[in-house]
Amino acid sequence: MNELRNLPSVDRLLQTPQAERWINQYGRPLTLSAIRVTLEQIRKGIEQSPTNLDEERLIRAVEETLNNWTHLTLQPVINATGVILHTNLGRAPLSPSALQSIQTCASGYSTLEFNLAAGRRGKREIHAQQILTRLTGAEDAFVVNNNAAAVLLALSALARRKPVIISRTQLIEIGGGFRVPDVMKQSGAKLIEIGTTNRVHLSDYETALQNYPNALILHAHHSNFRLIGFASEPALTSIAALAHQYQTFVIDDLGSGALLDTSQFGLTHEPTIQESLQAGCDLVCFSGDKLLGGPQAGILVGKAGLLDKIKKHPLARAVRADKLCLAALSATLLHYLKDEALTEIPVWRMIAAPQEEIRRRALRWQAQLSAGNVIGGVSTVGGGSLPEETLPTFLLAFSVPKADRFLARLREGDPAIIARIENDQVLLDPRTVLPQQEEELITKLQRLLTKHH
């Protein structure tokens, strides 16, 4: 066991110049434990199969341990997929002023729950509330952690032990474990399914309201699925009018939360929050980080009486929004109020990006790299909105040998670039690459293209 005796001691390693650098970079306790753990692992390895070990290899092993321990798993990536609201890549990037707002409110103290005029405790609920009610025309608004929480909270506060009528056309699963029927059961509501998988009529709603006098109606956006062919659902206006006729109300889970009309960009019209309220829905729930283009949040807008009950429910405290979210959300909403959403909010900029601009960017990348072809293609909105819908775009395409290996190398190191493969070509869509990421993207591509054969 000569090799074991030859292993340097912890103290010896601590004397090396590398250790001094580690201590500077990672602190003494972490460095010490990385050295100990690595030595222990190597000792065990040598016992099993004796090999010679030089100090250099040992130092590399400690370095690797330290890298592994301090490597942040949540790291920025460049999204070149062309999927604007990519749930796996964190959905909506924030606007500069939303980021600024987080920075200023979170680097110090804030008025999160403090009333400056009165000099005493204030309410967290007020922060995005005023802008939300002004924008949507709703009586009141409340912000929680995400839209799944918003729907669960609304049903828990308003529908516990009550029958809730929902059409079979809307018993959806949106992915990530969110299934409308399961959430309804979890809230304590009694699920009353009406209609069939493809069709539901106003008379189905009316029959259910007659059979269950204290029922309320849940309407859910189809999210990432489309009902086509022999299919129909009554207009939301008719459902709401019927509910009111029966002295009850409608909760609309709108999902993506568009405040602007998507049809102006050649997409199908995505129902907006304003329309849902105008149709007579009493409570509307939607996400903050889908088409709204803000931070992860769940937003409830609607009748003051319903929101009062919701805010008082014990779950409200458990799913409340934090100050980072409220700071970013308020700043994002302000863009809509100031009519600058299309230019300031990144997801809307991407949706609204003229094809010619995208083509120019792709051509510029091609020129800088002296590689690839610019071809026509499609981008998608994603994020549970506008399924199957595409936006025409231009792509920079690379025909490289072993395209999947090239794709994997794009994901290595910093920044990771996420792209896609179609017909053996690696495709990069400028639409979802933020302008400030272009330089990094080009530098990395230049490096990889010269190495990749």
Ligand X SMILES: *Cc1c(COP(=O)(O)O)cnc(C)c1O
Contacts with ligand X, residue ranges (CB under 6 A): 146-148, 151, 174, 178, 220-221, 223, 253, 255-256, 287, 298, 384
Minimal distance, residue 143 CB to ligand X, in Å: 12
Minimal distance, residue 242 CB to ligand X, in Å: 22
- The phi and psi torsions of 301 (rounded to 5 degrees) equal -130, 150
Query: Whose CA is closest to 138, among 335, 292, 280?
Result: 280
By beta-carbon proximity to ligand X, the closer residue of 43 and 222 is 222
Using only the alpha carbons of the chain, give its radius of gyration: 27
Q: How many Cβ atoms sit within 10 Å of the Cβ of residue 178?
A: 17
By beta-carbon proximity to ligand X, the closer residue of 127 and 221 is 221
By beta-carbon proximity to ligand X, the closer residue of 35 and 157 is 157
By beta-carbon proximity to ligand X, the closer residue of 221 and 349 is 221
Minimal distance, residue 148 CB to ligand X, in Å: 3
Minimal distance, residue 147 CB to ligand X, in Å: 3
Minimal distance, residue 253 CB to ligand X, in Å: 5
Cα separation of 83 and 350, whole Å?
10
Query: Whose CA is closest to 125, among 319, 279, 351?
Result: 319
By beta-carbon proximity to ligand X, the closer residue of 151 and 374 is 151
Minimal distance, residue 274 CB to ligand X, in Å: 17
By beta-carbon proximity to ligand X, the closer residue of 233 and 253 is 253
By beta-carbon proximity to ligand X, the closer residue of 38 and 256 is 256
DSSP 251: E
392 forms bridges with which residues in the sheet? 378
Concatenated DSSP letters for 376-433?
Answer: EEEEEEETTSSTT--EEEEEEEE--SSHHHHHHHHHSSSSEEE-EEETTEEEE-GGGS
Concatenated DSSP letters for 136-154?
Answer: H--SEEEEES-HHHHHHHH
Query: Whose CA is closest to 410, among 379, 443, 382, 432?
Result: 443
Chain-centre distance of CA 316, in angstroms? 21
Burial class (CB in 10 A: 0-12, 13-18, 19+), 87: middle
Q: What's the token pair of residue 233?
A: 């659902």
Q: Which residue is nearest to ligand X (CB)?
A: 255
By beta-carbon proximity to ligand X, the closer residue of 81 and 146 is 146
Cα separation of 428 and 394, whole Å?
9
Minimal distance, residue 11 CB to ligand X, in Å: 52
153 forms bridges with which residues in the sheet? none
Cα separation of 68 and 54, whole Å?
22
Minimal distance, residue 438 CB to ligand X, in Å: 29
Cα separation of 153 and 283, whole Å?
12
Q: In 244-372, at which residue ranges do the beta strands (DSSP E only) sit? A: 250-255, 283-287, 298-302
DSSP 303: -
Q: What's the token pair of residue 135?
A: 């924008």
Query: Whose CA is closest to 129, among 258, 355, 302, 270?
Result: 302
By beta-carbon proximity to ligand X, the closer residue of 212 and 225 is 225
- The phi and psi torsions of 93 (rounded to 5 degrees) equal -70, 150
Minimal distance, residue 416 CB to ligand X, in Å: 23
Minimal distance, residue 91 CB to ligand X, in Å: 8
Chain-centre distance of CA 361, in angstroms? 26
Minimal distance, residue 151 CB to ligand X, in Å: 6
